[in-house]
Amino acid sequence: MDEFYQDTKKMAKITSDAIFDYWQVEVSVDFARIQYLFEVTDTEGLSILYGDKGCVENSLENFHAIGNGFKLPYLHEIDACKVPDWVSNTVWYQIFPERFANGNALLNPEGSLDWDSSITPQSDDFFGGDLQGIIDHLDYLQELGITGLYLCPIFESTSNHKYNTTDYFEIDRHFGDKETFRELVEQAHQRGMKIMLDAVFNHIGSQSPQWQDVVKNGKESAYKDWFHIQQFPVMTEKLANKRELPYHAFGFEDYMPKLNTANPEVKDYLLKVATYWIEEFDIDAWRLDVANEIDHQFWKDFRKAVLAKKPDLYILGEVWHTAQPWLNGDEFHAVMNYPLSDSIKEYFLRGVKKTDQFIDEINGQSMYYKQQISEVMFNLLDSHDTERIL
């Protein structure tokens, strides 16, 4: 500490959980750098200094010793943890497109069930929900106070959930076409609503041309290094146990082979996908499916690529647990806040937590991440991956 620019500030306890008290103080600096120590005083009045070298006696000599303090040698603006301004005020509404509204019955998949059918839906049923159905209900959503729409995958896929992508550059034919999607984005923007798409980059659908090339050509395929393949051929018909797959897949599901995102060709392809939908359709956010199963290097490059196209784009990762490694300001802006929803449900619905436990959990969660990240967390009570809150 330079003796001419030395100050002492008292910290305030802002919250507590089962293990910790959390203390905070706000400081400003004149020269974009700072060195600081903590002075800790006990109830008897004895005090120590805690700094970069641990705990030392609270003496004038130790207070001024240049090696004792925690140091931020220079505060570079480019290293600051920035989040888009608009997100903290956004009320999100999640839409599973196949189930929201059928706006164009001509697009219905073969064998679609009647929308008002009393049949209990099964995992492979189709009802014909589409993008036009969303457009038709934008006024209704606006009346609810919705300012952001999160759409589950809308790209070409063989399933009703669309998490097994066949072609990332095409809207699924049963949902509509690119012009319909363009209209949806424009109509939403006219109402002050943002659009977030679902990026399923951990894995691809088994009907994709890339995987089908591997099925057909095996080791000779130009795409064999796009995946994590242990042995050829990649056939799965005779497997007794899906955990014996000859390649890595999402959830051991053979129809969703895992992409090798460390492969430069794969990375280049997926980043082209990510930037295409920003450049061509002006989307506002990407939700990143199974984000914790993709390498950090990919996400660092993803962030640079998409923010270069749209600096205030929101990057939301799907991580179900504490997510600090992805939230240091160089990967995601936030994650889906499942720990919060779990605490709420365990206390209010299941009754398995006592009040003080619930308070400790919420307080602890509020301290997980930097304040600006906490302000743009995707706080949810349920999703397509959980039971309905009701």
Cα(170)–Cα(181) distance, integer angstroms: 11
Spatial neighbors of 43 by CB under 8 A, at least 6 apart, are: none
- Per-residue tokens: 108: 């219905």
Identify the active-site residue in 98, 172, 284, 318: 318
Helix (H, G, I), strand (E, B) or coil at 159: coil
**Is residue 306 exposed (0-12), middle (13-18) or buried (19+ Cβ within 10 Å)?**
buried
Beta carbons within 10 angstroms of residue 336's beta carbon: 23
Q: Which amino acid is it at 21?
A: D
Angle between helices 178-190 and 264-281 (to 10 degrees): 60
Does residue 252 sit in helix, strand or coil? helix
Clarify whether 318 is annotated catalytic: yes
Strand order in the sheet with 148-151: 92-95, 148-151, 194-199, 285-288, 314-317, 334-335
Compute the distance between CA of residue 214 and CA of residue 200 in angstroms, rounded to an integer: 20
Residue 144: φ, ψ to 5°: -70, -15
Q: Which of 130, 284, 289, 331 is catalytic?
A: 289
The residue written with tokens 């897949």 in the block is 249
Report how far residue 193's alpha carbon sits from residue 324's, in angstroms, rounded to the nearest whole number: 29
The catalytic site residues sit at 289, 318
